[in-house]
Amino acid sequence: MKVDVWINVVVMIGLLASKANGGASKYTAMYVFGDSLSDAGNNKYFVDTSAKANFLPNGMDFSSGPTGRFCNGKIIVDFIAEMVGLPLLPSYADVSVKGATILYGVNYASAGAGILRDTGYRFGRVIPLEEQISKLRKTVDELKRQMQGNDEVSKYLASALVFINIGSNDYLNNYNIPKYYQSSHIYNLHQFTDLLINRYRQKILEIQGLGLRKFLISEASPIGCAPINIEKGECNATLNKMVAMFNSRVKGVVQELRSNYPGSAFSYAPAFEVFLRFLGNAEGYGFKVKDKACCGEVSESETGGTKPLCFANSTPCPNRDEYVFWDAAHPTQAANRILATLLHNTTSLP
Ligand X SMILES: *[C@@H]1O[C@H](CO)[C@@H](O)[C@H](O)[C@H]1NC(C)=O
Q: Confirm or reject binding of residue 303 to ligand X (CB under 6 A).
A: no
- Residue 6 or 180 having the CB closest to ligand X: 180
Q: Confirm or reject binding of residue 315 to ligand X (CB under 6 A).
A: no
- Residue 313 or 345 having the CB closest to ligand X: 345
The helix (run of H) or strand (run of E) holding residue 105 is strand 105-107
Q: Confirm or reject binding of residue 301 to ligand X (CB under 6 A).
A: no
E strand residue ranges, 160-316: 161-165, 214-218, 265-269, 289-293, 297-300, 306-309
Q: Total residues at the site for ligand X (CB under 6 A)?
A: 9
Catalytic annotation, pick one of 18, 25, 78, 330 = 330
For 257-287, letters b (16+ CB in 10 Å) and e give bbeeeeebbbbbbbbbbbbbebbeebeeeeb
Q: Confirm or reject binding of residue 239 to ligand X (CB under 6 A).
A: yes
- Cβ of residue 16: shortest distance to ligand X, in angstroms? 30
Give the x/- contact pattern for ligand X in 171-210, rule: CB under 6 A. -----x----------------------------------
Q: Which region, judged by CB under 6 A, interacts with ligand X, from 11-19, 55-63, 159-167, 338-346?
A: 338-346
| DSSP β-ladder status, 161-165 and 265-269 | unpaired
- Residue 160 or 223 having the CB closest to ligand X: 223
For residue 283, what is the DSSP state? Answer: G
What residues from 84 to 143 belong to the interface with ligand X (CB under 6 A)?
A: none
CA 310 to chain centre: 20
Q: Which amino acid is at 179?
A: K
- Cβ of residue 341: shortest distance to ligand X, in angstroms? 4
Nearest CA to 272 among 340, 216, 219, 345? Answer: 219
Active site residue 330: yes
The single residue among 48, 151, 231, 302 that binds ligand X, judged by CB under 6 A, is 231
- Residue 231 or 300 having the CB closest to ligand X: 231
The answer to whether residues 199 and 192 touch, using CB atoms and an 8 Å cutoff, is no
The single residue among 338, 343, 347, 350 that binds ligand X, judged by CB under 6 A, is 338
Q: Confirm or reject binding of residue 345 to ligand X (CB under 6 A).
A: yes
- Cβ of residue 213: shortest distance to ligand X, in angstroms? 26
Q: Which region, judged by CB under 6 A, interacts with ligand X, from 44-52, 143-151, 190-198, 341-349?
A: 341-349
- Residue 73 or 316 having the CB closest to ligand X: 73
The single residue among 154, 236, 301, 314 that binds ligand X, judged by CB under 6 A, is 236
Nearest CA to 333 among 295, 307, 296? Answer: 295
Give the span between the Cα atoms of 171 and 193, in whole angstroms. Answer: 9
- Cβ of residue 36: shortest distance to ligand X, in angstroms? 17
Give the span between the Cα atoms of 34 and 51, in whole angstroms. Answer: 14
Active site residue 36: yes
The answer to whether residues 219 and 252 touch, using CB atoms and an 8 Å cutoff, is no
- Residue 168 or 264 having the CB closest to ligand X: 168
Q: Confirm or reject binding of residue 313 to ligand X (CB under 6 A).
A: no
The single residue among 342, 343, 347, 350 that binds ligand X, judged by CB under 6 A, is 342
Collapsing DSSP states into helix, strand and coil, what is residue 214? Answer: strand
- Residue 151 or 231 having the CB closest to ligand X: 231
Nearest CA to 76 among 133, 129, 34? Answer: 34
Neighbour tally for 151: CB within 10 Å:
9
Q: Which amino acid is at 55?
A: F
Active site residue 94: no
β-bridge mates for residue 293, sequence order: 325
Q: Confirm or reject binding of residue 225 to ligand X (CB under 6 A).
A: no
For 20-37, letters b (16+ CB in 10 Å) and e give eeeeebebbbbbbbbbbb
Catalytic annotation, pick one of 36, 38, 168, 264 = 36
What are the residues binding ligand X (CB under 6 A)?
176, 231, 236, 238-239, 338, 341-342, 345
Q: Annotated catalytic sites, by residue? A: 36, 327, 330
